[in-house]
Structure 1
Amino acid sequence: MRFTWSNEFATGIQTIDLQHQALFSTINALHDCYENGGTHEQLQPILLRLTHYILFHFRTEEGLMSQATLPPDWYAEHLAAHHEFTVKINDYADRLPQLTPAEVEDLLNYLVEWLKDHILVTDKSLASYLARSAPGGAFDDRR
C-alpha cells in the first residue's frame, strides 16, 4: 500500500509535517522496492534508514511536547505509543532476512496504518496543545 501525502495529514507544525512527508517517502521507497521484487538485502538499507529516521522524528516530537502544556496521561501515552512502534519496527528489521512475503506486506501495511492513525489523532492533538500553549495561541516552529 503506497502512502500519499495530503493536507489531511498536515498538523500545521512545519517541522513535523516535513518529517512526516519524509517518512511517507521512505515507506513508499520500501514499498516500491518490495513490489519490484527487491530482495531482503535490497530492502534492508531502506528499512534501516526508516528506523533511524523514526527515532529522529520521535525525538523531535518529544522535544516539542516538552514545550507544551499537556495532560500527564496524554504525554505518557504518546511516549508509550512511540516506544511500542519502535520496538515493533526494530523487531521486523531484525527478522527481515527471515520474513516471508506475507510478513513483509504486513510490515508495509502496519507502517502505513499506524502512521496514518498516529498523525490524524495523536500528532494533530499535539499541534493543538502546542498552539494553546504558545503565546497568542500560534505555535511557530521556524525559530
Structure 2
Amino acid sequence: MRFTWSNAYSTGVQTIDLQHQALMAIINDLHDCCARGAPPGELRPIMQRLAHYTVFHFRAEEALMGKAVLPIDWHTEHLAGHRAFTDAVQQYLDRSEDMTPEDAEKLQAYLVEWLKKHILEADKTLGKFLMQQALHSDAFDDRR
C-alpha cells in the first residue's frame, strides 16, 4: 500500500510536515521495490535511507520538543515511540539481505501503520503544543 500525504497528516509545523512527506516517499520506494518483486539486495539501500532519515527526523523533532513546555508523561511516551520505531527499522535493516517478499510486505505495512498512527496521534498533538506556544514552523525552518 502506498502512503499518500493529505492535509489530515498536517501538524501545522512545516518542518515536521516536510520531513513526514520525505519519510512517506522512502516508504513508497520500499513499496514500489516490493511490488515489482525486487530481490532482497535492492531493499537494503532503501532500508539504509529509511534508517538514516528516521534518525535525522526524530532528532529534529526532539529538538523542537526541547524548546516547548510539554507534559512529562506525554514527552516520555513520545520519545519511547521514537526509540521503538528506530529499533524496529534497524532490526529490519540488519535482516534486509535475507528478507523474503513476505517480510518486506509486512515491513512496509508496519511502517505505514506506525507512521500514520504516530502522526495522527502524537505528532499532531506536538504541533498543537508548538503552535500554542508560538513555536511554529517559521521559527524552525531548517532551510535557514
TM-score strictly above 0.5: yes
Check whether the contact 2:40–2:100 (CA below 8 A) recurs between aligned residues.
no
Query: Gaps spanning 5+ residues in structure 1: where?
Result: none
Is 1:106 the counterpart of 2:100? The answer is no
Output aligned runs, 1:52-91, within 5 Å: 52-91=52-91
After the TM superposition, list the runs of 4 or more consecutive aligned residues in structure 1 that deviate by more than 6 angstroms.
Answer: none
Which letter does structure 1 place at the counterpart of 2:29? Answer: A
Deviation per residue, 1:48-99 (Å, 9 max, x gap): 0011000000001000001111001111101100000111110011011222
Distance 2:39 2:55 in 1: 25
Check whether the contact 2:12–2:128 (CA below 8 A) recurs between aligned residues.
no
Indicate the residue corresponding to 2:92 in structure 1. 92
Question: How many corresponding residue pairs?
Answer: 140
Alignment RMSD, CA only?
1.2
Please, what TM-score do these two structures have when normalized by structure 1? Answer: 0.93
Q: How far is 1:33 from its partner? A: 1.1
Indicate the residue corresponding to 2:32 in structure 1. 32
Which structure has more relative contact order (CA 8 Å, sep 6+)? It is 2
Q: How far is 1:132 from its partner? A: 1.8
Deviation per residue, 1:6-47 (Å, 9 max, x gap): 111111101011000101111101110111121111111011
User: Identical aligned pairs, as a percentage?
Assistant: 55
Distance 2:53 2:85 in 1: 13
Distance 2:44 2:85 in 1: 18
Query: Gaps spanning 5+ residues in structure 2: where?
Result: none
Distance 2:47 2:74 in 1: 29
Q: How far is 1:133 from its partner? A: 1.9
Moved more, 114-123 or 31-40: 31-40
Q: How far is 1:102 from its partner? A: 1.5
Distance 1:83 1:19 in 2: 17
Equivalent position SS for 1:66: helix
Check whether the contact 2:12–2:131 (CA below 8 A) recurs between aligned residues.
no
Is 1:123 the counterpart of 2:130? The answer is no
Which letter does structure 1 place at the counterpart of 2:75? Answer: Y
